[in-house]
Amino acid sequence: MLETGLILRALARNKIGAMLIALQIALTMAIMVNAIFMIQDRQQQMKRASGLDEANTFYLTNTIFGQDYNIISHLQTDLNMIRNTPGVVDAIQINAVPLSGSGWSMALQHQPGEDQDAVGSAIYMVDEHALNSLGLELIAGTNFSQADVEIRKDGQSTWPAKTIITKAFAENLYPDDWQSAIGKTVYISQNQPLQIIGVIKAMQAPWNGWNGVERSMLVPFHREAKGGYYFIRTEPGQRDALMPIIEKALAESDKERIIRRVTTVEETRKRSYQQQNATNKILMTVVITLTLITGFGIVGLAIFSINRRTKQIGTRRALGATKGQIMRYFMMENFLISCVGILIGSVGAVALNMWLVNSFNLSPISFELVAFGVVALFIVGQLAVLYPARKAALIPPATATRTI
Amino acid sequence: MLVMKNINKIFQTADIQTHALRDFCLQVNEGDFVSVTGPSGSGKTTFLNIAGLLETFTNGEFLLDGEEVGQLNDDGRSRMRNQKIGFIFQGFNLIPDLNLYDNVDVPLRYRGFNAKERKRRIEESLERVGLASRMKHLPSQLSGGQQQRVAIARALATSPRFLLADEPTGNLDSEMAQGVMTLLEEINQQGTTIIMVTHDAQLAQRAKRTIQVKDGRVSELEKVTPIMNQAIA
Amino acid sequence: MFNYYLRLAWISILRHWGLSLLMVCAIGLGIGAAMTTITVNYLMSANPIPEKSEQLYYVQLDSWDINNPFNDGLSPPDQMTFTDSTNLMRAQKAFRQNVQAQAFGVIEPENPDMLPLIVNGRANSADFFTMFNVPFIYGSGWSRASDDSKEFVVVLSKETNEKLFGGEDSVGKSIKLEGNMFRVVGVIDNWQPKPRFYDITTGAFNDSEDIFVPFHLIVDEKISRSGNTNCWKPTGDGFQAFLASECIWTQFWVELKTEQDKEDYLQFLNAYVQEQKQFGRFQRPIDNRLSNVMQWLESQEVVADDAQMMMAMSFMFLIVCLLNTVGLLLAKFLGKAPEIGLRQALGASKRTLFSQYIIESACIGILGGILGLVLAYLGLQGIEILYGDSMKDLATLDSKMATLAVLLALFSTILAGLYPTWRACNIQPAQQLKSQ
């Protein structure tokens, strides 16, 4: 039995009520689809690997305030002490930490000169222990040797001769064949040559929102500076126990500096993506409440319209409609209203997305997501109308002969 | 043919049992025109609801067109209502959102006729009640008498064996009521069995047979002579 | 009469409590969401110094690379080279001027039991305090003379003074900062402008600094510089070479009293850049800008994209809730058709019926508004928890916002009630009385 025509004609007599539901469905769909899209977008961002052994690493800041302080000799002592602590895999001095939000960047170019195009990259100043300490995977070329490591004074403008870069950076510099990067000379600071000796699988820049976040380079430097990080990798499971031990050992070995901000990389990741996480939770709440409001709105309106049509439904029953047919009538009615709503909603979802793309640099929405929204809202509508429709089906046919 | 034997209908509420029908017995033959009268609360409406399969009964035997009604489930009763019974209600019970054509269409849809068949039946039955020219109108645009004619057209459209009328003229003035009665008589002459509940003694007299319901039981009334009828009036 | 309508509304709300609850919840949620995001946006885009935001100007000069414009050529660099800020400072062409940069250092307390303190600092000119109306509990900022004679003076935040001196008047006392003795000249009262307009390069909603010292201390390497540094040209070795470089890391503010002063200052800047071109600097076309506080905050887009997007979403959310309410009110009022017909028959005019139903809508609106206020409060708490420090002080409801919430709820519910009420008032009494 297809009553579509009859239902449509009955709806046409109550256009406003039906349009209100349809518009609600449309807006809900537009918002839902875009919110889910933004959630997915952020989730993808958060899923990107930093390249580090995140579970077993931590770092701390070392701020020197003592005057006439021999930074380099203390650095050696500190690193030896940390590296020899049982449970520690390796440790380095570093100038910045991935995802931490603050760091250094430099640009590399293929040819020397002022007017050459250069590609920006995060720069990490480390020694030959870096790969082991950070948990990086060298996929081509070689590591630095101890002899490569130079001392860098504050304000120094010259750079070492060698560098190790990430695969993403190599692909950017040599789009045809990233492996050809090994052994090539590039230029830093416009005209200083730098030889690429190795490529690592991944290491993110300190800034998670930067579009070049996968581009990083390592240079062999020990910094003679008053502030810096020690970055430490431990045996699995030992990190939390070792954090206070190393902090205490460093603080007590030397009173002319402050050890602060002992932080795990996991914590850094969490902080780095705190905003994304928060926004996602809010968007999720919006999607859920919105769906509930629309769902309950449909329930409320359906119950009300069924209450008003009690006699009519009784009459239909008297004229031979089965319970199933009555239920189907209301399900069908909802389906037809949903169709209009979802049609408008699909257009609305794309329009809203276009606006978001223009105003907030979002990427365009995928067809699958719109399809998902279509299915989801049909289900929401049908579920919402299920209870009222059952209520309608239970109206006794004898209602028809009642004179009220 | 409709046969009721010792039908009982008991309404059960928390502490009160109401016997709406008591050992109700009735036989209505093919082609009959029976009017049912009785004071309010006598069980008229309960009888009609049970006869029309709108309500179930507590016990007893009820055969409609040879079929044992007590055995039917809800869907079965719906089907039987749709196929064998036509209803006319006091309040017309037209669907206000649908035009006349669509109103008459309602039971035909449940019957599952194809579009062509439905169209033929709708036009034919509206023709029969003299409203074919107004099939695109909405019920609210018609007078009460016209609305009731639409309801009759709706009842006739499925070609039912039985027509059950519940105070069909209750909401109409006497002139309109006469018109509706005349229409019912015509329908009866063409072979449809009619059972009509009414409290109007004068209208009841126009049926071939009159029964009275009192305290849930039946008592058959003799046809009153026209002279006495006038004396009462 | 008003009381009668109110009573009728109340009876009606209770009679259909399920429907009423649904409407109140829908409006409450819509208002709650809208108010939460409006509050965040309102606080983010607040004017942090309304009394003189029109007279304070941030100075931008386009000293960048001729081959590769700053920010894709959309705007000149957001900071200034040391060379330029020093020159502008020396020229003293504005009513007040301030060069500043972020700094940090370690304070060693006199009490050997106390641990050394790492502090965030700001190195700035004497005019900073008067320009930005900084409130003091003790003392004041240093004088221009102190800048000129390169004195070692410091202004402490209330919190730092608390830590070092237990909150007592420390003016005239000394602290040891980065190995040098500094004389305390003032202690600032609570002062957390939001946004922290005077320096938004490292985050517009950071707290103000722990200590303030004269800018010359950075130049003389008595305190370390922090904050953003951007270079387009290689620099030479050593700090002096860095200072002379084209790297940008200083910020320059001026206070100009009148529009004429602003014109004059812009002329001066253009002349200055023209002059510098002779030395081979400023190879790009002249693009000098003076932005007052609100213009500056707007151009740097301090209101987070997320906040704006959320606000847009929450308004759509509110619309859904209102559509919901329109539908439910319509159903409810039309369901009362017989009653309306009867009232009309008994002498109610359209106007009285209109008042009755609008008052009923308004009652639901007020209830929704109150619920919305509670939800907005919870929502803001939630935002503060979820976003952490970055949202501190940006998620508080003031009385202005609370009033706005209830008014918005009232207004939008009445708006939602208009159509259903109009429909209800146009019910034909005759039809209603006849058919039943």
Mean pLDDT, residues A102-129: 91
Q: What is the pLDDT of residue B173?
A: 86
Q: Where exactly are the structural domains of chain C? A: 2-45+304-435, 56-299
CA-wise closest residue to A174 among A119, A107, A113, A245: A119
Per-residue pLDDT tens digits for B106-150: 899 888 889 899 999 999 999 989 999 998 998 988 988 899 999
Model confidence at C334: pLDDT above 60: yes
DSSP letter at B224 equals: P
Q: What is the pLDDT of residue C432?
A: 54
Q: Which of B178-182, C285-289, C346-350, C366-370 has the lowest mean pLDDT?
A: C346-350
Nearest-angstrom CA–CA distance, A186 and A108: 6
Same domain, A221 and A299: no
Which pLDDT band holds residue C435 (cuts at 50, 70, 90)? very low
Topology of domain B2-232 in CATH is Rossmann fold (3.40.50)
Model confidence at C287: pLDDT above 90: yes
Q: What is the pLDDT of residue C158?
A: 95
CB of C284 within 8 Å of any CB in chain A? Answer: no
Q: Is residue A183 part of a domain?
A: yes
Same domain, A303 and A372: yes
Q: What is the full DSSP assignment across B97-133?
A: TS-HHHHHHHHHHHHT--HHHHHHHHHHHHHHTT-GG
Q: Is residue A19 part of a domain?
A: yes
CB contact under 8 A, B54 and A318: yes
Enumerate neighbours of C (3 or more CB pairs within 8 A): A
Q: What is the pLDDT of residue B224?
A: 47
ipTM entry: 0.84
CB contact under 8 A, C383 and A282: yes
- Across the interface, of B45, B78, B95, the residue whose CB is closest to A401 is B45
Per-residue pLDDT tens digits for A78-105: 999 999 999 999 999 999 999 998 888 8
Same domain, A229 and A327: no
Averaged pLDDT score across all residues of chain C: 89
- CB-CB contact of C320 with C30 (8 Å): yes
- Which has more confidence, C342 or B161? B161
Per-residue pLDDT tens digits for C236-256: 888 899 999 999 999 999 999
CB contact under 8 A, B87 and A319: yes
Averaged pLDDT score across all residues of chain B: 87
Same domain, A232 and A109: yes
Q: Which of A4-13, A137-146, A299-308 has the lowest mean pLDDT?
A: A4-13
Model confidence at C6: pLDDT above 50: yes
Question: Which tokens go with A205?
Answer: 């820049």
Nearest-angstrom CA–CA distance, B164 and B145: 18
CB contact under 8 A, B93 and A315: yes
Which pLDDT band holds residue C206 (cuts at 50, 70, 90)? confident
- CB-CB contact of A319 with B107 (8 Å): yes
- Across the interface, of C108, C335, C382, the residue whose CB is closest to A308 is C335
Nearest-angstrom CA–CA distance, C122 and C209: 6
Mean pLDDT, residues C288-313: 89
Question: Which tokens go with A306?
Answer: 């069924």
Which pLDDT band holds residue C74 (cuts at 50, 70, 90)? confident
CB contact under 8 A, C313 and A17: no
Rounded alpha-carbon distances, angstroms, from residue B76 to A313, A395, B113, B220: 18, 17, 18, 31
Task: Pick from A305, A401, A402, A404 the residue to mutate for testing the B interface (most B CBs within 10 Å).
Answer: A401
Domain that holds residue A356: 4-47+274-401
Mean pLDDT, residues C162-183: 93
Nearest-angstrom CA–CA distance, C71 and C195: 22
Instruction: List residues bridging with C57 in a β-sheet.
Output: C254, C292
Q: What is the full DSSP assignment across A178-229?
A: GGGGTT-EEEETTTEEEEEEEEES----S-TTSTTTT-EEEEEEEEE-SEEE
Residue type, position B19, single letter: H
Mean pLDDT, residues A348-370: 89
Question: Which tokens go with C46?
Answer: 């607040």
Per-residue pLDDT tens digits for B61-107: 999 988 899 889 999 999 999 999 999 988 888 888 888 998 999 89
Averaged pLDDT score across all residues of chain A: 92
CB-defined contacts A:B, below 8 A = 94
Mean pLDDT, residues A362-368: 88
Question: In chain A, what percentage of residues exceed pLDDT 70?
Answer: 99
Model confidence at B228: pLDDT above 60: no
Nearest-angstrom CA–CA distance, A220 and A161: 9
- Evaluate if pTM is beyond 0.90: no
Phi, psi (deg, nearest 5) at residue B34: -105, 130
CB contact under 8 A, B54 and A400: yes
Which pLDDT band holds residue B222 (cuts at 50, 70, 90)? low
Query: Which residues in chain C (161-190) have CB-CB distances under 8 A to chain A?
Result: 178-179
Q: What is the pLDDT of residue B227?
A: 42
- CB-CB contact of C430 with C374 (8 Å): no
Which pLDDT band holds residue B45 (cuts at 50, 70, 90)? confident
